[in-house]
């Protein structure tokens, strides 16, 4: 149950549900480039990706609303740790936890919600256009899984599940032969990537990072990057956006080198590339009241 009394500016935040949510959320219309090897081509066929065709990658959520939920949960668990005189893991107050089966754990799981509205507009512009969903996944979710031969909860925050070929959890699904898709956003100029897990993903509890990660904090990016240089880069790469000026804190230069990120994933034995997605149109949303939070 969600109570308006728990949230400052509740009426403003509730309207974020179904929006892109600002921050690092986006929608991208992209061209698909399948990797040139048999495994990638077979995986792409099963996923429904077609070389040279158009894909749309959507990364969205309600940041302010979700942030308020998370902060409330953190505060509750931090208070419990203090009352029970339990030392903080790694002396980090954001690593608090609740034992499974306790009211605190149940309330936390119940609060892990996201509401997403996908609007199909292609047919309004190009009548007769058809498409299919490749994969839908939340990258802030907890699931019961088997780790080291025992059942436990795996909580992925900013990460995505990465079960490889023949993993028992994929039995009787289309992905048993390939492993299921891993969606790894990069940045508009470098592209994004669809990957599949390798056996080495077992080392990371079958998890892979969901994105390139920031090279500059939001305030540092706004302070240090030049707006004209940011906007000119989109022009040079023939990328159209709905932004009069692209947010500097979301500029490609604010993020780590995407090719190096992919290289690290491959060298760690976690996953292999199936297709690169090259952006041609980018949709960004914003909410100035969030001040770059979350």
Rg (CA), the chain: 20
Is this structure's pTM higher than 0.85?
Answer: no
Q: At what angle do helices 63-84 and 103-111 cross, to 10 degrees?
A: 170
Quote the pLDDT of residue 61: 66
167 is catalytic: no
Answer yes or no: are the C-beta atoms of 131 and 122 closer than 8 Å. yes
pLDDT tens sequence across 32-82: 999 999 999 999 999 999 999 988 888 876 566 667 777 888 888 999 899
- Residues in the chain, total: 294
Pairing label, strands 150-157, 240-241: unpaired
Distance of alpha carbon 209 from alpha carbon 75, whole angstroms: 26
- Of 112-121, 137-146, 208-217, which gets the smallest average pLDDT? 112-121
Quote the pLDDT of residue 116: 40
What the block records as the tokens of 75 is 């505060």
Supply angle C-alpha 109, 265, 237, rounded to 5: 100
Q: Which of 155, 210, 237, 280 is an active site residue?
A: 210
Answer yes or no: are the C-beta atoms of 195 and 271 closer than 8 Å. yes
Q: Where does the pLDDT of residue 291 fall: very low under 50, low under 70, confident under 90, or very high at 90 and above?
A: very low
CA dihedral 141, 142, 143, 145 (to 10 degrees): 120
What the block records as the tokens of 113 is 């919600």
């Amino acid at each position: 149950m969600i109570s308006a009394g728990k949230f400052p500016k509740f009426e403003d935040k509730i309207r974020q549900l179904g929006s892109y949510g600002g921050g690092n959320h986006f929608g991208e219309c992209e061209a698909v480039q399948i990797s040139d090897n048999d495994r990638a081509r077979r995986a792409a066929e099963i996923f429904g990706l077609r070389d040279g065709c158009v894909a749309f990658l959507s990364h969205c959520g309600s940041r302010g609303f979700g942030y308020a939920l998370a902060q409330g949960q953190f505060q509750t668990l931090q208070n419990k740790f203090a009352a029970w005189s339990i030392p903080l893991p790694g002396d980090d107050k954001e690593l608090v936890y609740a034992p499974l089966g306790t009211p605190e754990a149940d309330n936390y799981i119940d609060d892990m919600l996201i509401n997403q509205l996908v609007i199909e507009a292609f047919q309004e512009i190009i009548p007769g256009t058809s498409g299919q969903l490749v994969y839908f996944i939340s990258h802030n979710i907890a699931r019961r899984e088997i780790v080291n031969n025992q059942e436990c909860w795996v909580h992925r925050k900013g990460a995505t599940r990465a079960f490889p070929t023949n993993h028992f959890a994929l039995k009787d699904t289309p992905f048993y032969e390939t492993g299921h898709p891993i969606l790894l956003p990069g940045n508009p100029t470098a592209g994004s990537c669809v990957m599949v897990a390798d056996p080495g993903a077992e080392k990371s509890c079958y998890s892979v990072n969901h994105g390139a990660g920031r090279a500059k904090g939001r305030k540092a990016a706004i302070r240090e990057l030049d707006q004209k240089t940011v906007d000119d880069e989109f022009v040079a790469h023939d990328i159209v956006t709905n932004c009069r000026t692209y947010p500097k804190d979301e500029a490609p230069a604010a993020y780590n080198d995407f090719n190096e990120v992919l290289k690290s994933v491959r060298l760690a034995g976690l996953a292999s590339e199936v297709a690169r997605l090259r952006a041609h149109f980018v949709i960004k949303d914003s909410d100035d009241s969030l001040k770059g939070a979350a």
